[in-house]
A = this chain, B = another copy of it.
Amino acid sequence: MNISKTPVLSVDQLTVRRGQQLALQAVSFSLEAGTDVAIIGPNGAGKSTLVQSILGIVSREQGTVQLLGQPLSTKKALPAAVRHQVAYLPQNFLVDRRLPLTVTELVALGWDKLGIQLPWAKAKARKLAVQQALARVEASHLGRKFISELSGGETKRILLAYCLVRSRQLLILDEAPAGLDVRSEADFYQLLYELKAEQGWTILQVSHDLDMVRKHCDRVICLNRRLMCQGVPETALAPENLTATYGPEFVRYRHNRHAC
């Protein structure tokens, strides 16, 4: 590991309670800048809980989180210094279907620095950035629709545009490609690659698609309430690690899938 660089994100001994049970127990890891890290694990493993507790959406029982060198508290909002440096794409995006918000307006919200400002501040730059972001996820034709009028995959794309409408240091994606069609999925991984390689973003993504993880990610974190293993895909996705994470019968399933 590179000791001289501060990690983009470092999580230390994170323990989170959801309802009666502990959803996460003493999870520690850190992200190096410019890497694409996948979190994998079975359903209910606490993957979403992990990213939500990093961002303060779910409160932590124990442990500390540092983002871009700033310690985060769940009591307080994200510090101003990191606020615009991180984007989050949630797994479930629940909105009131009656809210009259258009796609353009949603994406523009991603661009805004949410301080005190005039509503028409920097309208031009904003409009341009929104157009570009929509084009990038092939959703320019959706701009004037209400967000409640989108199909599942369209919603995912719009959220992606919301995340990348402004340049960030950390992109946190919770099952972003689920619901995308085959072609958009490929575009999506291509996009992540560009963001990482060309713009130096760090990416933390929750994924169930082990093939893609193996092919695209730099590091993998295997989670099942505890941290089961982490490392480069070759080692982390080795059968014994996967068996530890997903349970004993796992290898058979993998075999099944790949019998093509």
Interface size on A, residues (CB 8 A): 46
Interface flags for A106-139 (1: CB within 8 Å of B; 0: not) read: 0000000000000000000000000000000000
Interface flags for A223-260 (1: CB within 8 Å of B; 0: not) read: 00000000000000000000000110110011011001
A208 engages B186 (CB within 8 Å)? no
Instruction: For A18, list chain B residues within 8 Å (CB).
Output: 149
CB neighbors of B among A28-45 (8 A): 41-45
Among A5-13, A64-72, A152-160, the one that faces the other chain is: A152-160
Instruction: For A19, list chain B residues within 8 Å (CB).
Output: 145, 149
A253 engages B94 (CB within 8 Å)? no
B260 engages A215 (CB within 8 Å)? yes
Among A53-61, A73-81, A164-172, A173-181, the one that faces the other chain is: A173-181
Instruction: For A186, list chain B residues within 8 Å (CB).
Output: 253, 256-257
Instruction: Kindly state whether residue A91 has any CB partner on chain B within 8 Å.
Output: yes
A179 engages B152 (CB within 8 Å)? no
Q: How far is the CA of A157 from the CA of B42 in the complex (A)?
A: 12
A153-B208, A181-B246, A182-B250 known; 19 other A-B pairs, CB under 8 Å? A19-B145, A41-B181, A42-B181, A42-B184, A43-B151, A43-B153, A43-B181, A43-B184, A91-B152, A152-B175, A178-B178, A180-B208, A182-B246, A185-B208, A186-B253, A186-B256, A186-B257, A187-B253, A211-B260
Q: Which residues of A line the B interface, CB within 8 A?
A: 18-19, 41-45, 48-49, 91-92, 94, 145, 149-154, 156-157, 175, 178-187, 208, 210-211, 214-215, 246-247, 249-250, 253-254, 256-257, 260
